[in-house]
Every structure is written in structure tokens, then in C-alpha cells.
Structure 1
Amino acid sequence: MGASSQDVYAKYLQHADYGYPLRMPEPMSTLPEDYRKSGLQIGDVGVVDSNGQFDVLFNIWKHSNNPLHRHGVPKNFQPVPCEDVKSSPNAISAGPIHSYGINQILEPAGDKSRSADYEFESSAPAGAILILPHGAMSAELSSLEQFRQVAIQNAIDWYELAKKRYGVEHLDRSLYLITGFYKSRYWSLASFKNPKNDTGKIQARKHESNPNIYPLQLTFPSDRRHSHSGDDSGNINQTVFIRGFKITFSRWLPHPVVLTATEVETTWSKLVRLFNACLSRLRNVSGGHKPPVATSKL
């Protein structure tokens, strides 16, 4: 199975170190209305689907009778006490974020005679780009350790709820626990992989009906998206990056693995982790102790 559009976009934009990129920043239309107005929230647990949209299962800060939990909550669910959150209204400056091999050669200057407001040259066979005309705000937990422990202790129950929601045959992606995010009202993005030529141009010009949007044009095959007209008086609900913990399940491991959302394991580290898990299982059989879930620090 080939990489999805989300996989390509996230792989080549993740180096920006803002978190895990979402190809579809919009909140899902199936969420309660109040939730759609504010977008993803700290404490959300869910999956990023192959299109790049975050599907919320439940939130560990909210009570079981919250409208978000209309489809149920995990076994033994208890809401976690809220913790301090740090935020910034201008966490990401206005402008483009792009992968290696893409070089900016033209910046906005307000000259309508030009063919584009932004222009880039690409020398890479694959990449991704995101333009945030007004930057992005952020919010993140001040301390992550409580959320890490909650994920470790409850991962199996969370997985069982996800299986009921999606079915085993469709649950082929990791669960995520959100500890922070970057949101923007306006954005344009694109990704590409294996274009016919290794070099090409990327351009963006203000949308004719909305000067806050810069749709992208590429001279080679690509996947492109941009925000809709937006509501200047409304809340900022488009989540361009998430931060948090990724909870991965494998039939080869006795327990789920909890990593930060931006960590990418090498083949060697996977082998080492698998070896350690096997040793833990052997010790468990001989000593009767439950092996811990593997974690890694931020």
C-alpha cells in the first residue's frame, strides 16, 4: 500500500518542529457544534485518518456525559484534572513553512502586475509546503508527565474503544493524545512525491475573493488544499499542527508503545525495542510482573 496524502505531507513538513502536521486542519463536521467552533482541544484522543483529519474519540479532561462523548467513553474512564496551559497568540510568524529542497525566490510586495505573490523553486523529488498569511497561535500543557502516565495506564482500554468505533480492519493508524496545538484561520498547503522532473516552480497568489488566502500552483503533480473564506469574527479553529503522544499498537509487542507525536523510529530502534519487549515478556512469565509500556522523552 502506497503512502497516503497525509503521510507524504506530514513526512516532509514535520522537520519544522512545530508538531505533527495535519493536511486537513478543519474540525470534523460530525463533532458537536461548540466543538467545531473552537476546533481540536488539549486532552483529545483520536486518530489521524488517511486524509489528514483528526477524528476525536473522546477527551480525557471532559466528563463522560459531555456531548462530545455521545458514542461512549473507554472502560474505567475517569476525567483527568485540568492542568496549566501556556499559550501564545503569535507562535508562528506569518509566511511559508516548507521542506528541504524548496527555496523561496519571491516574497509578497503588493505588486499586482506580478504573476505571483510567493514563488519557490523545488529541487527535490518530494516535499511539502504550508503558507500561513497571518501566522498561527499556540496552546500547550506546561507539564506533560501526567498525560504520559494516563496514556500508558489506559492505552489498552482506549484501543478497545477505537476497535468498536472503527473496526479492526480499519484501525491501521496510531491513536494520538493531544497535549498542544497550533491553529490558524487561513492557510494554503501542498505536497508532492516523485514528480516527473526533479525541479520545478511553486507559486501562490492572493485569492480573488479573499486576500487572506494564497492558493498554491505547482508546475508538477501535487496534492493542494487551502482554507475556505473563513469568518473574521469567529474563533480560530483550524489546527495546522498537533503536539502530544502517539500510541502505537503491534501484534509483535505485548503492550502499546507511547511516543511523542513527532518522533520517527529508525529500523534499528524498532529492533532494539522489540528485543527489549521480548525480554520483558520472558521476565513477566518467570516473575509474574507486568512489563511496562515503552516511552521516550520529549
Structure 2
Amino acid sequence: MAQHPSHVYTRQLLPMQYGYPLYYPEPTDDLPLELQARGTGIGDVGIIMPDGSFQFAFNIFTPGTDTAINCFGVPDGFHKMVLGHISRLPNKHGKPSELASANDRSNPSAAGVPIGYHVVSSTSESARLTMPDGAMGEDYTSIHEIRAYSIEHALSWYEFINGELGCEAPNGSLYVVTGCDKSTAWGIATVGEESSVQSGPGYSCSWSTQGGEIVRKSTPWHPDGGAEPPEDPTEPPQNQCLFIRGFKIRVRGGLFDALMDPPVVPVTDHVNVDSLLRQNENWSRGSGGGESGSSGLGGSSQSGDGTSRWEGADDWSDNDDLDPFVAPYHPLDSINAYLLKMTPQAQVAISHESDWWVLSPGATLENEDEIVGRLATHFTPSIFGGGVFLVKREPALAQKDEAIPLAQWPSDSLEHPQQG
């Protein structure tokens, strides 16, 4: 079974700790123009698809009556959050910028295109992201408010996505965006089992491998959806979302199963996460135990009359050989599963993208045993409103070189913070 290049891209860029790298940063053209113009943003609730795209469902800061954004509807009983402060860095990634994985050994090519690279080695995985116009970054300041709101509504969100929208989102796959990096143009290259190139609006790029050269060109995004620029061109919007930061949410299996008919297999219990990292084995429905594996998530589209429709797993990828049940490994999947295992009184586990960074500080992504094994050194579990999450230990207690055994992380010593 062929491996989607997004898996290589994810494994190689996750350790850079900018957030989850989206292999498809561009908004899909079936969304309303207003949603396309802003791209994936803070407050979006959805799923990271196995092909590396973000599947939008609804936005928690937008009223349910605003169908230009919440075009697929909202969960029953939905009430929007009041938007708080957002911290913005207009030049987080300078113009131009490049991010290359530790394994990337690339040289400028003589391909005669605006930006090109010749990958001199294809014996190991590597990935590269170029941002010719730079990129901005933005983050919601009070993420604890989003966390509390997400814990309260996690079950209804899964019920909405898998029921009303007809999706098969696995338990643990729900993602709430609290921050992102966006650009107007980008280029992506990966080298692995299958070498690949992507390029964004108005940007030509070329990467060549020992097996040949792949070039893809695309044009700037315009509100009219056309490929040609308008007569009076304006500055293109920064609607190409390169990285997302946010919360992943998992609910207790029995509660999730009660919502699903037929049952949907959870994202992971990670019978062997090392095999996922190496991609030597397929992560598929029914492998391992009763809660291992992942289920396909249908894509969404907007019909001509303005109503929404969600389609089946065939829309996950343009690669017919890609197994739709195989998804890139995410450290938060292991963390959330472990939190629920260790805290039987909790009904929801929620972890932020930044939580795992201290657990895997190197240039490559650590395996599950290393990440979970370091939890007690850096965090204590806390419960609020039936949801369990991580709280950082005081610096003096977080021993850098001496790990605290997980046996010393008992569930009966949990903190129960009061929401301020």
C-alpha cells in the first residue's frame, strides 16, 4: 500500500514545534468565498485528515446564523464563545523563509524557476517548506477558555460531526484550532518512499530527485475562483494555513460508542506506535485491539443551492492506492489515551499541541514510550468539568535529567482547578 507523502511531511516537520503541518494549506473551493478568503483560523473545529488537510466543521466564535462561515450548521444547543485577545506576529516567518527537516540535504537547482532545489540524497526521509512571501502567526491568548468550552461540548461536537454531517470521525480525532501560521504562497517537497512536490498560489517550485523531477505550478487565489488575475489586482490574502496549533479531544470509549451507530473505531490505543512512526505496518481498522486503528472521515462540499453535503472516504485522497484508514501519528493521541486510562473519573481527555513539545525536544519525533514516559516529569493531570488535561509542573519540580516514574502520578492526587 502506497504511503501518502503527507505522512513524511508530518513526521519531519512536527519536531520543529510550529504546530501541526498541513500538507494541503489551501482552502477548498467548495467553501463559501468568505471562508475561503480567511482560510483555516482560530476557533475552527474539525478533523485533520489522513492526507494532511484540515476538514472544517464549524467555528466556535461565529454565530450559528452566520452561514458564510458556519456553512454546515452547528451542533444542537450551540452558543458561540465571546472572542478574546489574539496575539499576532505579522512577520513570524520572514520573506523569504524556508524550513527544512534535519534529514534534508538540498541545494539550489539550476532549474530556471523562481525557487528550486535538487535533493542530493533520497536514501532517507526529508521534507522542506518554503515561504517566498513569509508567513504570519496568530494565537488565542486565553486558551484555557477554549479548553473549558471544549470539555463541556465535546460529546455534542462528535455527535454533530458524525451524525448531522454524516462523518466517521474516529474518537480522538476532533481538533480545535487555537493558533495558526498563514501565508500567501508556499512550496512543499518531501522525499521518502514516494517523492513529492506541492506549490501554492502564484508560486512555481521545482525539486528533483535521483529518479527525476516533479514540478507543480498554481495560481493566486481570487474571489471569483478564476485562474487569471483580476484587472485591478489586490494584495492576495494570507489564507494558506501552513501550521495549526490547538487541542485534540478524546472522550471515554463507552460514551463515544453510545453516540455512534454503527461503531467507529477510535484513533488509537497504539498497540505499536513505533511501527506507525516507521510506517512499516499499516494502521488499519481492526488491527491490534478493540480500540486500535482509525476510520475514514468523509469530505465536505457545498452544493449549488447553498446546502451542505458530506461525502464518503473516497474524497480523502487523490491517490487510489492510499489506504484511507492510515493516518499520520500524532503524539497527542497517545497522551489523551493515557490520560483517560490513568483517570477513570474523567469522561474527556484534552491536550494542546504545545503539550508534547517538551516531551520530544529533539530533531526527530520520539516514540510513544518516550513521550508517555516523560509525562510525570513535566506535568500533573488535572480535572475540570469531567475533563482531564495536563498542567505544567513548577520548574523546580520538573527534573530535566531524572524522570519521575509514572507510578508516582496517581489519579487520587489530581488537581481540580477552579475556572477563573
1:104, 1:120 within 8 Å by CA — same for their partners in 2?
Answer: yes
Match of 1:276 among 323, 338, 342: 342
Q: Secondary structure at the match of 2:253?
A: coil
User: In the TM superposition, what are the counterparts of 1:46-125 in structure 2 within 5 Å?
Assistant: 46-67=46-67, 68-93=69-94, 94-106=96-108, 117-122=116-121, 125=124
Per-residue CA distance 1:173-195 (angstroms, 9 max, x = gap): 71111111111111111223336
1:58 Cα deviation from its structure 2 partner: 0.8
SS of 1:138's equivalent?
strand
In the TM superposition, residue 113 of structure 1 has moved relative to its aligned partner by: 7.5
| Distance in 1 between residues matched to 2:74 and 2:22, nearest whole Å | 25
Q: Which whole-Å CA distance do the structure 2 matches of 1:280 and 1:203 have between them? A: 43
Contact 2:93–2:136 at 8 Å: present in 1 too? yes
1:165-224 superposed Cα distances (whole Å, 9 cap, x missing partner):
5546x32371111111111111111223336xxxx9x999x99xx6x4323333359998
Residue 74 to residue 112, structure 1, CA distance change in 2 (3 Å): closer
Please give the residue correspondences for 1:182-193 in structure 2 after superposition, counting only pairs within 5 Å: 182-193=181-192
Does 1:45 pair with 2:45?
Answer: yes
Structure of greater relative contact order (alpha carbons < 8 Å, 6+ residues apart):
1
- Aligned CA distance change for structure 1 residues 221 and 252 (closer, same or farther; 3 Å): farther
Cα deviations by residue, 1:48-87 (Å, 9 ceiling, x for unpaired) = 2222222211111011101122332112211101111111
- Whole-Å separation in 2 of the counterparts to 1:39 and 1:114: 27
Distance (Å, rounded) in 2 between the aligned partners of 1:266 and 1:59 = 23
| Alignment-derived partner of residue 181 in structure 1 | 180
Equivalent position amino acid for 2:161 in 1: A
Q: Which amino acid aligns with 1:55?
A: Q
Q: Which amino acid aligns with 2:188?
A: L
State the Cα deviation string for residues 250-285 of structure 1 (Å, max 9, x = none).
Answer: 63788999xxxx961596x5774353144668xxxx
Question: Secondary structure of 1:82's match?
Answer: coil
Aligned equivalents of 2:12 and 2:119: distance in 1?
16
Pairing partner for 1:294 from 373, 380, 388: 388
Q: Hey, what's the Cα distance between the residues in 2 that align with 1:143 and 1:264?
A: 23
Task: Give the number of equivalent residue pairs.
Answer: 274
Return the offset for 1:98.
1.8
For 1:73, the aligned partner's letter is V
Q: In structure 1, list runs of 5 or more residues that go unmatched.
A: 282-288
1:91-126 CA-partner distances (Å, limit 9, x unpaired): 01323212221134448xxx8889974444446522
Deviation of 1:34 (Å): 1.0
CA distance in structure 2 between the aligned counterparts of 1:192 and 1:222, rounded to whole angstroms:
12
Deviation at 1:38, TM superposition (A): 1.6
Give the letter for the 1:276 counterpart.
M
The answer for the alignment partner of 1:171 in structure 2 is: 169
Conserved 8 A contact 1:203-1:217 = no
Q: Which moved more, 1:231-240 or 1:145-154?
A: 231-240
Query: Residues 17-48 of structure 1: CA distance to partner in whole angstroms, max 9, x if unpaired?
Result: 11111111111222211111121221111112
Paired position in structure 1 for 2:144? 145
Distance 1:32-1:272 versus aligned 2 partners, 3 A rule: closer
AA matched with 1:248? R
Q: Distance in 2 between matches of 1:222 and 1:80?
A: 48
Match of 2:226 in 1: none
Contact 1:101 1:123 in 2 (8 A): no
SS at match of 1:233: coil
Pair 1:215-2:206 in alignment: yes
Superposition CA RMSD, Å: 4.0
Contact residue 187 and residue 213 of structure 1 kept, 8 A? no
Hey, what does 2:36 align to over in structure 1? 36
Q: Which amino acid aligns with 1:134?
A: D
Q: Do 1:44 and 1:177's aligned partners in 2 also have CA atoms closer than 8 Å?
A: yes
Q: Structure 1: how far apart are the matches of 2:59 and 2:113?
A: 47
CA distance in 2, matches of 1:252, 1:225: 46
Identity among equivalent positions (%) equals 27
